[in-house]
Structure 1
Amino acid sequence: MAAKCGEIIAIMEALAPPELAAEWDNVGLMLGTPEADVRRVLICLDVTPPVVDEAAARGVNLIISHHPLFFRPVKSLRYDEPLGGMVRRLLQENLMVYSAHTNLDSADLGVSYHLAARLGLEDIRVLVPTYREKYYKLVTFVPADHEKVVREALTRAGAGWIGNYSDCTFRVAGTGTFLPLTGTQPYIGEEGKLAEVKEYRLETIIPTNRLPEVLKALLKAHPYEEVAYDIYPLANEGPAQGLGRIGVLPQVLGLEEFSLQVKETLGASRVNVVGARERRIKKVAVCGGAGSDVMKAAWDAGADVLVTGDLKYHEARQAESIGLAVIDAGHFATERLIVPALVTYLQEQLQEREVMVLASQQEQEPWYPL
């Protein structure tokens, strides 16, 4: 069976919560409706005319892009202009567009994480923390014969994660009392009679972005007509999420050798390098896309080199002045690796649905070297 567009959005936002996006950014459903059925999804960096043609030819319902379809405010959509003409084509082909941009950059398993992992870095951590998720404590009361069913429903919906441990819950046995009033249909007990029931107090931890799904799962799995539960906001904070990543190479390399390795690994058409060729490289900072804003953070963190894209002349001079080596592998090459990563993620999440997830085959660098 097909998935609703809204279901796929929820899966994407579990990976890249919208609250991670920069204030100036525009993320989310750009075109379409959450209620529409989706059977084919196309993943790309940019929504361009060739990508739209590809989506139409491959029977796609939903395009998921990294860069937003609408980035700056749009005052008009003229069909005789590039953006308006492309939007018209999207509407004619009944194609929806969802974009995850800076929220996907900053996500725990987002663009910069995959860039660091692709380059073989170890001990990877966030370079510039911008967000720490808040948590809630959920407490509910379950009859003994349904404790396992409810517990598993909660953890499948995203409750009970602490670091690298899943299914973290606590339960204690006790006695619940209730009096079913006129018109009720109690799972246990009789109308008009005070009931005493052996129950478990079941509690677990929930990240903010999973709270709606966990409550939905609780109400569906719980056998009672009226489900008793408490939600407590916690002072606990989750792991840092944010811009860039920093890690170490398994072994020390020269800057020139590492630069050539970056070029080959990312399939970049060229790399521009700031720094002495013989400089020894061990600690590496990365930031997918345009990452000049994290140069100082990379230097402060003790990085030997920053791997990013879109470095301008004066920014290269700034890196030179503070003694930070930089490898500019281009915006496209440092971000394109998120496309296959998203394909794998969505395929895993949608394996029980009749939804095909495809990587765009029509994207390439907007320029080429001579």
Structure 2
Amino acid sequence: MSAVTDNAAPPTVLDVVNALDRRYPRDWAESWDRVGLVLGDLAHPVSRVLCVVDCVPETVDQALAAGVDLIVSHHPLLLKPVSSIAPDTYKGRIIHRLIRGDVALYAAHTNADVANPGVSDALARRLELVDLRPLVPATGAAAGEGRGIGRIGELPEPMDLAELTGFVAVRLPGTAAGIRAAGDPGRTIRTLAVCGGAGDSFLADVKSAGVDAYLCSDLRHHPASEHLAEGGPALLDVAHWATERPWLDEVAEWLRGEFGAEVVVSDVDTDPWTVHAFSSSEKETQP
């Protein structure tokens, strides 16, 4: 569907849902995932959209204050089954507020992760990577055309790990958690693999790919330690929200071009970690 003209009627929720489903087909999602329209009146016109990483009370506040008709969220609100959406439950309160505000909710999660362009493409572009290819090529319904989990690319110029860590901190949205790296700070990094969101399940793929470093979020102590002990690439651990926030800009740009709607991108930091402090021993080593 091409962009609407100034005099055309705004698209409906159904129009936008159908377009999102074409861009991120639901059968590309993992079997455990829950993607697509969560709630909303299909006939309701859409003039304003909010793109968020998480549908949480803070982003619902933003949606209602901005008067949006649709929220496009990366993470599903109802990923795990619930037995009640009563208004005295966490998710129930969110659902009731959205329904009362006539705000539809749509989620594109692992189907957006494997898409090309998708979540990891947007992350790779923030880091100026070139010559992108999937870290784990897609199989099944999503196979082909450069789709898959994560991306591998070349840095614009080699950096050592310490320099790369600083570069990432500048290029990605800031959070209290910041950026941490594991490996020799002086190691030269030319080829970088990235994965938006949690990524330690792909450590073996990263090692097989022969890259110099790997950036993702939610790395755990033992998998990271064993990966490095076995000679794997250097690691960069970034807040989950920060690795997926760049995708919102891409989705927003596409929605504007597709429908001519006003699209707002949320910069509300939904990372749960809100305070960072150095230990006394760390303070002594700071420059």
Into which bin does the TM-score normalised by the smaller protein fall?
0.7 to 0.9
Question: Which residue number corresponds to residue 16 of structure 2?
Answer: 8
What is the letter of the counterpart of residue 81 of structure 1?
Answer: T
Q: Give the conservation status (yes or no) of the 8 Å contact 1:254–1:280.
A: yes
Question: Which residue number corresponds to residue 90 of structure 1?
Answer: 98
Question: Which residue number corresponds to residue 42 of structure 1?
Answer: 50
1:345 and 2:254 matched: yes
**d(CA) in 2 for partners of 1:131 and 1:9?**
24
Q: Give the conservation status (yes or no) of the 8 Å contact 1:43–1:63.
A: yes
Q: Larger helix proportion, structure 1 or 2?
A: 2
* Among 298, 310, 326, the residue aligned to 2:206: 298
Question: Which residue number corresponds to residue 176 of structure 1?
Answer: none
**d(CA) in 2 for partners of 1:306 and 1:55?**
34
**d(CA) in 1 for partners of 2:29 and 2:75?**
12
Q: CA deviation at 1:14?
A: 2.7
Question: Which residue number corresponds to residue 312 of structure 1?
Answer: 220
Q: CA deviation at 1:362?
A: 3.3
Q: Give the conservation status (yes or no) of the 8 Å contact 2:154–2:192.
A: yes
Q: Give the conservation status (yes or no) of the 8 Å contact 2:52–2:73.
A: yes
Question: Which residue number corresponds to residue 64 of structure 2?
Answer: 56
Question: Which residue number corresponds to residue 196 of structure 2?
Answer: 288
Q: CA deviation at 1:102?
A: 0.5
Residues 1-370 of structure 1: matches in 2 within 5 Å? 1-131=9-139, 238-269=144-175, 270-323=178-231, 324-351=233-260, 355-368=261-274, 369-370=276-277
What is the letter of the counterpart of residue 339 of structure 1?
Answer: L
Q: Give the conservation status (yes or no) of the 8 Å contact 2:241–2:269.
A: no
**d(CA) in 2 for partners of 1:73 and 1:254?**
45
**d(CA) in 1 for partners of 2:98 and 2:20?**
21
**d(CA) in 1 for partners of 2:230 and 2:125?**
26
What is the letter of the counterpart of residue 262 of structure 2?
Answer: M
**d(CA) in 2 for partners of 1:362 and 1:256?**
28
Question: Which digits, 9 at most, give the CA deviation of each residue in 1:1-56, with x for residues without a partner?
Answer: 11011211122223222121111100000011333221111110111112112211
Question: Which residue number corresponds to residue 143 of structure 1?
Answer: none
What is the letter of the counterpart of residue 259 of structure 2?
Answer: L
Structure 2 residue matching 1:339: 3-state secondary structure: helix
Q: Give the conservation status (yes or no) of the 8 Å contact 1:319–1:325.
A: no
Structure 2 residue matching 1:245: 3-state secondary structure: strand
What is the letter of the counterpart of residue 249 of structure 2?
Answer: P
Structure 2 residue matching 1:98: 3-state secondary structure: strand
Question: Which digits, 9 at most, give the CA deviation of each residue in 1:86-137, with x for residues without a partner?
Answer: 2111111111100000111110011101111111111101110123668xxx
Q: Give the conservation status (yes or no) of the 8 Å contact 1:319–1:326.
A: no
Q: Give the conservation status (yes or no) of the 8 Å contact 1:79–1:85.
A: yes
**d(CA) in 1 for partners of 2:169 and 2:230?**
24
Please identify, of 73-82 and 274-283, the stretch whose mean Cα deviation from structure 2 is larger: 73-82
Q: Pick closer, same or farther for the CA change 1:364–1:83 going to 2, 3 Å.
A: closer
Question: Which residue number corresponds to residue 282 of structure 2?
Answer: none
Question: Which digits, 9 at most, give the CA deviation of each residue in 1:143-184, with x for residues without a partner?
Answer: xxxxxxxxxxxxxxxxxxxxxxxxxxxxxxxxxxxxxxxxxx
**d(CA) in 2 for partners of 1:319 and 1:325?**
9
Q: Which has the larger radius of gyration?
A: 1
Q: Give the conservation status (yes or no) of the 8 Å contact 1:41–1:357.
A: yes
Q: Give the conservation status (yes or no) of the 8 Å contact 1:285–1:298.
A: yes
* TM-score relative to the length of structure 2: 0.88
Structure 2 residue matching 1:336: 3-state secondary structure: helix
**Percentage identity across paired residues of the two chains:** 37
What is the letter of the counterpart of residue 22 of structure 1?
Answer: E
Q: CA deviation at 1:360?
A: 2.0
Q: Give the conservation status (yes or no) of the 8 Å contact 2:138–2:144.
A: no
Alignment coverage as a number of residue pairs: 265
Q: Larger strand proportion, structure 1 or 2?
A: 1
Q: Give the conservation status (yes or no) of the 8 Å contact 2:68–2:103.
A: yes
Stretches of structure 1 that go unaligned for 5 or more consecutive residues are 135-236
**d(CA) in 1 for partners of 2:267 and 2:124?**
24
What is the letter of the counterpart of residue 211 of structure 2?
Answer: A
What is the letter of the counterpart of residue 293 of structure 1?
Answer: S
What is the letter of the counterpart of residue 229 of structure 2?
Answer: S
Q: CA deviation at 1:361?
A: 4.2
Structure 2 residue matching 1:79: 3-state secondary structure: coil
Q: CA deviation at 1:364?
A: 4.2
Q: RMSD between aligned alpha carbons?
A: 1.6
**d(CA) in 1 for partners of 2:54 and 2:173?**
18
Stretches of structure 2 that go unaligned for 5 or more consecutive residues are 1-8, 278-287
Moved over 4 A (4+): none
